[in-house]
């Protein structure tokens, strides 16, 4: 069963415009290859963005390569380091990994954690790092860099994002089953909420005492291939941690939403995997800014803009470009300066 499901993830990558034909060479390099150094803005973004009137180089502070289909970035403030999950779709099973970067974005341990399948969302509490991996959640002891537990999630099909509450509860979305699973501090696994109103949840974030959800949009079917056929109608939602009631915040359809991060002003940065757009949304779900990142970068497509990380202290958005094999560090100030 597990082999079938991880194969379905590979099908999804091919369905969504192809991980190989359209991606940069760096996205499919063997995991054992030595990583390149952190660089300035990539060559294809040196020119000014065609329609937005701002140099892409002013938005992109760093371009970090190579990664094998990077899906999620997480900043560990206490240790001043970053974790990047790599789905590595070129390997059907067992090739997924997590890379370790220092506080400046230097790739210091490209194979920090190996032996995963297609890891996606990352969440942390204390010395524990939690990673979603198709049908299980993997717990990693950060100081030792060792996998200490694998939580099998019954009925899981496509575990996706991970978020952790202040009291140590871990919430994991399953985009194909409309379920959010909770793992308590004691390791107890609970099917916390299963509801079609979640509209195939992707990004999740515990913020201000509630669980916020960035939905992919209704999927007709239960295979990974069906995700690529979903209409761009996902919305931003808010779920009560007390009674699990669901409130749709967006006033209308937004897109196939993925990453979800709160900024220092009480708004949300939300990525759209399919269109490559990056949205700034208010706490009420209103779209304050809508950036077509392909135009901002001056490239043909930004498809694969995945699970972003927001660093409030520096005003940076760390954007994994899943189809390009890179992580781009964006200046929030420069981005907001674009009309």
Locate the domains of the chain by residue range. 2-29+44-336
Which string of DSSP letters, residue by residue, matches 110-148? EEEEEEESS---EEEETTEEEEEEBTEEEEEETTTTEEE
Contact 85, 131 (CB under 8 A): yes
- Which sign, positive or negative, has the C-alpha torsion 32, 38, 44, 49? positive
- The single-letter DSSP state of residue 98 is E
**CATH code assigned to 2-29+44-336:** 2.120.10.30
Whether residue 66 is preceded by a cis peptide bond, meaning omega within 30 degrees of 0, is: yes
Contacts within 8 Å (CB) and 24+ apart, 37-46: 37/106, 37/107, 38/62, 38/63, 38/64, 38/104, 38/105, 38/106, 38/107, 39/63, 39/64, 39/65, 42/326, 44/297, 44/298, 44/299, 45/297, 45/298, 45/299, 46/298
Q: How far apart are CA 137 and CA 150, in angstroms?
A: 6
Residue located via tokens 């973004």: 45
| 93 membership: H or E segment, kind and range | none
Per-residue pLDDT of the chain (339 residues; tens, 9 = 90+): 332 333 333 334 433 333 323 333 333 232 233 333 344 443 333 323 333 344 566 999 999 999 999 999 999 999 999 999 999 888 878 899 999 999 999 999 999 999 999 999 999 999 999 999 999 999 999 999 999 999 999 999 999 999 999 999 999 999 999 999 999 999 999 999 999 999 999 999 999 999 999 999 999 998 888 998 999 999 999 999 999 999 999 999 999 999 999 999 999 999 999 999 999 999 999 999 999 999 999 999 999 999 999 999 999 999 999 999 999 999 999 999 997
């Amino acid at each position: 069963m597990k082999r079938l499901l991880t194969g379905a993830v590979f099908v999804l990558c091919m369905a969504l415009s192809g991980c190989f034909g359209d991606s940069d060479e760096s996205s499919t390099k063997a995991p054992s290859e030595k990583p390149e150094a952190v660089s300035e803005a990539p060559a294809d973004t040196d020119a000014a963005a065609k329609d937005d009137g701002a140099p892409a180089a002013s938005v992109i502070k760093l371009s970090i390569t190579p990664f094998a289909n990077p899906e999620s970035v997480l900043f560990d403030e206490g240790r001043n380091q970053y974790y990047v999950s790599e789905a590595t779709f070129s390997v059907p099973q067992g090739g997924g990994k997590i890379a370790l970067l220092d506080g400046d974005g230097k790739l210091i341990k490209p194979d920090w954690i190996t032996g995963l399948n297609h890891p996606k969302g990352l969440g942390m509490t204390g010395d524990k790092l939690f990673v979603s991996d198709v049908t299980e959640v993997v717990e990693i002891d950060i100081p030792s860099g060792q996998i200490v537990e694998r939580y099998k999630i019954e009925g899981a099909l496509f575990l996706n994002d991970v978020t952790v509450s202040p009291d140590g509860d871990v919430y994991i979305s399953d985009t194909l089953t409309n379920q959010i699973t909770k793992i308590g501090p004691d390791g107890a696994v609970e099917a916390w909420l299963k509801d079609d109103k979640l509209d195939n949840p992707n990004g999740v974030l515990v913020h201000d005492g509630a669980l916020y959800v960035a939905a992919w949009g209704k999927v007709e079917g239960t295979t990974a291939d069906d995700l690529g056929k979903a209409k761009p109608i996902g919305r931003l939602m808010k779920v009560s941690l007390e009674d699990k009631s669901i409130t749709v915040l967006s006033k209308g359809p937004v897109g196939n939403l993925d990453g979800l991060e709160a900024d220092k002003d009480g708004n949300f940065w939300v990525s759209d995997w399919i269109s490559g757009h990056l949205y700034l949304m208010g706490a009420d779900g209103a779209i304050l800014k809508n950036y077509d990142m392909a135009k901002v970068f001056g490239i043909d497509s930004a498809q694969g803009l995945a699970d972003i990380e927001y660093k409030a202290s520096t005003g940076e958005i760390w954007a994994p470009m899943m189809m390009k094999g890179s992580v781009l560090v964006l200046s929030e100030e420069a981005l907001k300066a674009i009309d």
